[in-house]
Amino acid sequence: MSHRSLAAQGLVVGYERGARVLDGASLTVPAGRRLAVLGANGSGKTTLLRCLSGALRPTAGAVTVDGTQLEHSRRGLRAHRQTVQLVLQDPDDQLFSASVAQDVSFGPLNLGLDEAEVRARVAEALDLLAVDHLGDRPTHQLSYGERKRVAIAGAVAMRPCVLLLDEPTAGLDPSAVTETLAALARLQDHDSTVVMSTHDVDLALRWADEVAVVVDRTVVQGRPDDVLDDRPLLGRARLDRPWALAVGARLRALGLLPVDAIPRDAAGLLAALPESPAVRR
Amino acid sequence: MSHRSLAAQGLVVGYERGARVLDGASLTVPAGRRLAVLGANGSGKTTLLRCLSGALRPTAGAVTVDGTQLEHSRRGLRAHRQTVQLVLQDPDDQLFSASVAQDVSFGPLNLGLDEAEVRARVAEALDLLAVDHLGDRPTHQLSYGERKRVAIAGAVAMRPCVLLLDEPTAGLDPSAVTETLAALARLQDHDSTVVMSTHDVDLALRWADEVAVVVDRTVVQGRPDDVLDDRPLLGRARLDRPWALAVGARLRALGLLPVDAIPRDAAGLLAALPESPAVRR
Amino acid sequence: MHIAEGFLPASHAVGWTVAAAPFVVHGARAVVKEVRENPESTLLLGAAGAFVFVLSAIKLPSVTGSSSHPTGTGVGAILFRPPVMALLGTVVLLFQALLLAHGGLTTLGANAFAFAVVGPWAGYGAYRLIRAFGGGLLPGVFAGMVLADLTTYVTTSLQLALAFPDASSGLAGAAAKFLGIFAVTQIPLAIGEGLLGVLLFRVLTVN
Amino acid sequence: MTGLAVDDAAWTSAWRHRSPGDKLLLCGGLVVCALLLPAWPGSVLVGLVAVGLALGPARVPARTFGRAVRLPLAFVTVGALTAVVAVDGDGIGWAPDAAARAGSLAGHALAGSAAVLLLATTTPMSDLLPALRRMRVPEAVVEVASVVYRLLFVLLDSLRTIREAQTARMGYSSLRRSYRSSGVLAAAVLTRSWDRARRMQAGLAGRGLETGLRVLPEALPSSRAFLVTTGAGLAGIVAASLAIA
């Protein structure tokens, strides 16, 4: 397992019902950097991730790993699946075994690893996601947030170089979001490049090194503070401008923030602001 | 249909698996005001709403409408249902018909209304939720956000005085959230009191007239800018402090906001801040 | 494989409809009674029917690489009993005819007789017999699933043979032909369905 | 969610808002004609009319119609060939009139299938099921069928997603693993179906589930012109067939 660079060039995906979902979408996932894929529901985020994972074969365009093109043959897909893993949004459709440990062992067992190695992989994955205490619990007794993390563990046990997560924080409460982000940071340290899709622009600004906005069937990629400050783009993408960029811009204009300070969240903003000149209550 | 005051006193709910979910929870939904019920996942938000709707009978405590206590008899529940409707988080739990219009007609038909009246109610409900264009689309072709609004329409067609919504915005993208909030405002104008549960503190601050935090098996109710600024309480409830309160407090301390200004969102904050004294680029 | 629309002569279509009707009506009565006593069971029965429909969308893995789908009526008969399966099976056939163009409307009776009556009863009978003689759950499920699948195809073959007797060897020759084409080829797939049933019940009983 | 092609066509067909009774009458009439009239020219006429109406006024995508007809075509080909092969002690040969008999069988079946498909691609199940009620099918059965219709899409969606997740984790990389994964998949879909039913019970209780699942079908009024044309068209097919045959 090591960080790898995953990319897509000129993806075209057309559904049978007529309209194209993606039409010339290109994207680069730089090895070892956090990429957030942003888009409204129905924009094609999930379709893009499914193409990257090999689950969906685009009508045109190519997916490459470190420059080598993905072949949609049995053999090509098998190799790709050991490099790239996708975790879909709804954990219920990814947990299909009775117990947590059993579910996480599904992938490693299919890789033909021996029992000791499978156990080690399961333990490692549960540990990375901080769900090791759930190992022998039945999957249907878990909370939504726990199920989401166990579903991620199932993919992590395959030791992917790139992990694609579709809306990993959707439906989670703030503390579960914090735990999930901590787990993703551990995965990153453990040499998996992490890509997440989300429609939460504030989260993307706070978390990502780079963002890719899926808009008008294509992708606009760049730095979070550039792309997420591009109001016409956000309007077309039906996304909001992160509050921190809006408020930060005004405070810089007021001279309260240094001209080069671009706070990404409340903590960053408060830290960058001067301490109160007024008397505290 | 008219606004009614719904309340719960000293609710105790114990699950079979041992621990109590609620233990002495009291809550008042003031007629015609927006109440947000806040809590982390698993805190008992849904249980509380189910008690209020009559779906769950508490071990102890009472639910009242305009002071009259809910009886858990067939007759009592039937009357209650015409006053209070609950919409669950997962729309697939409530949409049993493949035709949107047929699904919405289910409730009114069960009220024993005649065909013309049922059709009128269906049309009204679809209109209020701005999903009238979906009337003849199949449920299984709708997006998640569309299904959520159709599920709300199914409850609205019962013309409830109080509408309880469990996480109506969870999983929705920003534009779908905006549309849902607009629909809720129309319902409010249409004389339904709206209660929503959420774990999004920023949304609660922005939307609610009052908030009720479910914490430690009980409920703390009050004004959003009071309750959501109570950091020890939020800590116990595993919720974040809304960024607007944190940033607002600092800017007041810096003398940039009037002492009585409590902005609830980015737009409010920007409006309350002075225009830039510096030269604009 | 269900008999396509228009393939059976009218008299056969009517005859098989009459033959299947008592079983389906019996099943409908059972369902009506169940729903009257317990309105919520509408949802459970609907879910059961949807499950049987969806089960036939699972691809049975096969050595040759050609794919085939389980009938699913064996597992349905074991879980929900043959009378209910007679009705649910017929509903599923109606849906397959109208959503997948698989089967037909005038051949619904004939297909129901094979798929929703004979298959479930044979499968359920085999399952009960094995259980009664002290066989375990899984052998019972295996036999039930294999038999439900196989008897469905045997019945379909015989229905076709009855409709189209062989020009020189008559009914027997026709039966041999249709069984050879539609039933013998099904044997490995029926065994596959049995295996699938065993795996399914093994997962269920572990839970 | 991706649906089933025939169902998608039904919801978007230009005949979606025609009365289901009218369409049943037309398609039922065509099916009966396909069954009872001589294959030449009866079946040919029925087939041409059914396909013409589907692709013409009903605006069903030709691709959907063509794909859907493949399944009956396969059955009819194998079935008809088997029927016209003669076997006896000496071996295998063609029955007398093999070509004519096979043609007639295929004609009846393909015309009938096209007529059923015309109904299927223009009328969603949720419009057809209320019509069953008028045919004296018990309310409870119609309600169960309508829940089947809703849930099969929910379960198909689960099935596809679970299978995709299993595939990604190498669940179908050998025959043995494929079997194991399929068994797990079937069990998972079964538990989902129970779970769905249970959750819907809770979800619908507040809207009055204890009185059943009655719904109000859309008002899709019958068209006199459509009925007259149907009657005249069917009579024409019958007359032409009897005259020519």
Please give the full DSSP string across D90-156, using - where no structure is assigned. Answer: TEEEEPTTHHHHHHHHHHHHHHHHHHHHHHHTTS-HHHHHHHHHHTT--HHHHHHHHHHHHHHHHHH
CB neighbour list of residue D54: distance below 8 Å, 6 or more residues apart: D60, D65, D114, D117, D118, D121, D122
Chains that touch D (3 or more CB pairs under 8 A): A, B, C
The alpha-carbon gap from A106 to the nearest alpha carbon of chain C, in Å, equals: 13
Joined together, the tokens standing for residue B208 give: 């609610």
Q: Does B249 touch chain A (CB under 8 A)?
A: no
Angle at CA of residue A44, ends A39 and A46, nearest 5°: 90
Candidate from A129-143, B6-20, B242-256, D145-159 with smallest mean pLDDT: B6-20
Residue A223: half-sphere exposure toward Cβ, Cα within 13 Å? 5
Whether residue B230 contacts residue B240, with contact meaning beta carbons closer than 8 Å, is answered with no
Residue D206 is predicted with a pLDDT of 87
Contact D165 A94 (CB under 8 A): yes
Three-state secondary structure call for residue A214? strand
Residue of D170, D192, D198 to mutate, interface with A, max A Cβ within 10 Å: D170
Domain A6-241 architecture = 3-Layer(aba) Sandwich (3.40)
C-alpha span between A244 and A249 (Å, rounded): 8
Q: Do D144 and C35 touch (CB under 8 A)?
A: yes
pLDDT (tens digit, 9 = 90+) per residue, B184-211? 999 999 989 999 999 999 999 999 999 9
Running DSSP on this structure, what letter comes out for residue C120?
H
Nearest CA in chain A to C200: A97
Residue range D53-74: mean pLDDT, rounded: 94
Q: What sign has the CA pseudo-torsion A109, A113, A119, A125?
A: negative
Interchain CB distance below 8 Å, B174 and A277: no
**H helices then E strands: how many in chain A?**
11, 10
Domain locations along chain D: 4-123+220-244, 137-206
Residues 174-203 of C with CB under 8 A from A: 203
Which tokens is A214 given?
A: 């899926």
Token pair for residue A64? 């490459």
Strands (E) located in chain A: 6-14, 20-29, 35-38, 60-65, 68-69, 84-87, 162-166, 193-198, 210-215, 218-222
DSSP conformation class of B138: B
* Buried-state track A154-181, b at ≥16 Cβ within 10 A, e below 16: bbbbbbbbbbbbbbbbbbbbbbbbebbb
Instruction: Give A98's contacts in chain C (Cβ within 8 Å).
Output: 203, 206-207
Q: What tokens does B47 get?
A: 């249980």
Choose among A249, A281, A251, A261: nearest CA to B251. A251
Cβ distance of A174 and B199 shorter than 8 Å: yes
Distance CA D80, CA C163 (A): 11
Q: Average pLDDT of chain B?
A: 92
In this prediction the pTM is: 0.93
* Distance of alpha carbon A212 from alpha carbon A224, whole angstroms: 9
Query: Given the structure tokens 């200004």, which residue do they identify?
Result: B261
Task: Please report the pLDDT score of residue B227 as a whole number.
Answer: 97
Confidence of residue B85 (pLDDT cuts 50, 70, 90): very high
Query: Which of A15, A41, A178, A233 would best serve as a mutation to test chain B binding (most B beta carbons within 10 A)?
Result: A41
B255 to chain A, any CB pair closer than 8 A? The answer is yes
What residues in A contact D166, CB-CB < 8 Å? Answer: 96, 106
CB contact under 8 A, B278 and A240: no
Neighbours of chain A (3+ CB pairs under 8 A): B, C, D
Q: Show which residues on chain D lie within 8 Å of chain A, measured between beta carbons.
A: 2, 5, 8, 63, 157-158, 161-162, 164-171, 173, 177, 184-185, 187-188, 191-192, 195
Query: For residue A90, which amino acid is it?
Result: D
With CB atoms and an 8 Å threshold, state whether C43 touches D146.
no
Percent residues over pLDDT 90 in chain A: 80
- On whether any CB of chain B is under 8 Å from the CB of A171, the answer is yes
Nearest CA in chain A to B146: A41
**Is D83–C202 a contact, with Cβ atoms under 8 angstroms apart?**
no
Mean pLDDT of B28-48: 93
Q: Are C70 and C84 in contact (CB under 8 A)?
A: no
Out of A17, A53, A96, closest to residue D188 by CB? A96
Do residues B249 and B258 touch, judged by C-beta distance below 8 A? no
The greatest distance separating any two alpha carbons of chain A, rounded to the nearest whole angstrom, comes to 70
Find the range with the poorest average confidence among B102-116, B267-281, C43-57, D104-118. Answer: B267-281
CB contact under 8 A, C207 and A98: yes
pLDDT in tens, B105-151: 999 999 999 999 999 999 999 999 999 999 888 999 999 999 999 99
d(CA D245, CA D233): 18
Q: Which residues of A touch C206 (CB under 8 A)?
A: 98
Contacts of C96 (CB under 8 A, 6+ apart): C2, C53, C56, C102, C103
The residue-averaged pLDDT of A245-273 equals 92
| Residue B279: predicted pLDDT | 40
Choice among A48-57, C176-185, D144-153 with the minimum mean pLDDT:
C176-185
Distance between C65 CA and the closest CA of chain A, angstroms: 13
What pLDDT, in 10s, does the model give residues C112-169?
A: 999 999 999 999 999 999 999 998 999 999 999 999 999 999 999 999 999 999 888 8
Q: Tell me if chain A has a CB within 8 Å of the CB of B60.
A: no
Q: Which pair of tokens denotes residue C139?
A: 């052998």
Preceding omega of D41 cis (within 30 degrees of 0):
yes
D-chain residues within 8 Å CB-CB of B103? 215
> CB of A44 within 8 A of CB of A214?
yes
Nearest by CB: C43 against D83, D201, D210: D201
Angle between helices D20-36 and D44-55 (to 10 degrees): 150
Please report residues of A whose CB lies closer than 8 A to that of C203. 97-98
Q: Is the pLDDT of residue A17 over 80?
A: no
pLDDT at A281: 35
Q: What angle do CA D102, D105, D108 make, to 5 degrees?
A: 145
Model confidence at B278, pLDDT cuts 50, 70, 90, reads: very low
Residue with tokens 């607002």: B248
pLDDT at res. B281: 35
Residues in chain C: 207
Residue B251 in contact with residue B257, Cβ under 8 Å? yes
Q: Could you write out the DSSP letters of every residue in D61-83?
A: -HHHHHHHTHHHHHHHHHHHHHH
Question: Computed over its alpha carbons, how large is the radius of gyration of chain B?
Answer: 20
Q: Which residue of B has its CA nearest to D17?
A: B136
Q: Does A42 touch chain C (CB under 8 A)?
A: no
Mutate one of C1, C2, C3, C7 to test the D interface: name it (highest D CB count within 10 A): C7
The domain spans of chain B are 6-241, 242-276
Whether ipTM exceeds 0.90: yes
- Whether residue D150 lies within 8 A of chain C, CB to CB, comes out as yes
Q: Which residue of A has its CA nearest to D173?
A: A110
Dihedral, A109, A113, A117, A118 alpha carbons, nearest 10: 0
Nearest to C196 among D137, D186, D196 (CB): D186
Say which residue the tokens 């024993």 belong to. Answer: B112
Phi, psi (deg, nearest 5) at residue B235: -60, -45
pLDDT tens-digit readout, A198-247 = 999 999 999 999 999 999 999 999 999 999 999 999 999 999 999 999 99
